[in-house]
């Protein structure tokens, strides 16, 4: 798939992040975004890893954290195995973002939104490449009541910093900023819903009858 095709795939998602209605975008904006996408691609060093792990091993990774989450139990119910993904666009994307922000905030917003959308796209591709068979949707610490601190534990437990360069910062954020740790249960099919989202009652997308997971 060439850059233009990838861009066309991710552009609607990026628009959503910018609170732009993709249907109302004019050619000028689309062309500008595509030029920014070119700049983004020059800085992307995508890296991904995955680990298959039994659900019981995962829940024991830090019992204090995993036991408090009802959502985690709900999503993994009926699964004996799961897979954890870690994906990142690399630090150069962050560094270039900072540079653009100093030059042109308008472009920086487009760049940031495209980077987020591109990471999701690459992660989807990565997941598809594994042919996992029947599996749940991908979810992440921070989703519903799953403690975000689990990121911290997973990064250490799977040596993710060493392997692909995703680091934790204070307050359990991940660096580079365009990085994700996600997971899904194996052997069961389920799709995402808004039911467990913290923004259930305040989500602007829902008000417009849109969903963040359907771009």
Q: Closer CB to other proteins, residue 96 or residue 138?
A: 96
- Contact stretch for other proteins (CB under 8 A) within 70-78, 169-177, 184-192, 207-215: 169-177
Min CB(8)–other proteins separation in Å: 18
Q: Is the dihedral of CA 69, 211, 131, 88 positive or negative?
A: negative
Instruction: Report the largest interatomic distance among the alpha carbons of the chain, rounded to a whole angstrom.
Output: 52
Among 176, 183, 190, 197, binds other proteins (CB under 8 A): 176
- CA–CA separation, 126 and 138 (whole Å): 12
Instruction: Please give the residues from 70 up to 109 whose contact with other proteins meets the rule CB under 8 A.
Output: 90-92, 94-95, 97-99, 101-109
| Rg over CA atoms, the chain | 18
Q: Closer CB to other proteins, residue 3 or residue 60?
A: 60
Phi, psi of 17 (to 5 degrees): -65, -30
**Beta-strand pair 174-175/167-168:** antiparallel
What is the signed CA dihedral for 179, 34, 27, 21, rounded to 10 degrees? Answer: 0
- CA–CA separation, 175 and 108 (whole Å): 18
- CA–CA separation, 91 and 177 (whole Å): 8
- Contact stretch for other proteins (CB under 8 A) within 3-11, 54-62, 68-76, 188-196: 54-62
Among 5, 23, 24, 131, binds other proteins (CB under 8 A): 24
- CA–CA separation, 55 and 88 (whole Å): 24
Among 68, 198, 200, 210, binds other proteins (CB under 8 A): 198
Among 56, 202, 207, 208, binds other proteins (CB under 8 A): 202
Footprint of other proteins on this chain (CB under 8 A)?
A: 18-21, 24-25, 29, 32, 45, 47, 51-53, 57, 60-62, 90-92, 94-95, 97-99, 101-110, 112, 142, 148-149, 153, 155-158, 161-165, 167-173, 175-177, 198-199, 202
């Amino acid at each position: 798939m060439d850059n233009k095709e990838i861009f066309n795939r991710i552009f609607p998602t990026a628009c959503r992040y910018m609170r732009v209605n993709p249907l109302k975008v004019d050619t000028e904006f689309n062309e500008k975004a595509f030029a920014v996408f070119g700049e983004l691609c020059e800085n992307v060093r995508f890296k991904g890893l995955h680990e298959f792990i039994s659900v019981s091993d995962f829940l024991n990774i830090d019992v204090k954290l995993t036991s408090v989450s009802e959502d985690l139990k709900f999503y993994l119910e009926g699964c004996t195995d799961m897979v954890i993904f870690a994906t990142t666009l690399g630090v150069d994307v962050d560094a270039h973002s900072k540079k653009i922000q100093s030059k042109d905030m308008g472009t920086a917003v487009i760049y940031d939104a495209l980077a987020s959308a591109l990471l999701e796209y690459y992660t989807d591709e990565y997941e598809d490449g594994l042919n996992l068979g029947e599996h749940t949707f991908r979810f992440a610490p921070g989703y519903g009541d799953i403690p975000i601190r689990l990121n911290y534990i997973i990064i250490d437990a799977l040596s993710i910093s060493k392997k692909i360069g995703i680091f934790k910062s204070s307050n359990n954020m991940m660096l580079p900023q365009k990085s994700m740790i996600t997971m899904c249960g194996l052997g069961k099919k389920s799709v995402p819903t808004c039911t467990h989202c913290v923004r259930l009652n305040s989500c602007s997308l829902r008000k417009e009858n849109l969903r963040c997971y359907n771009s």
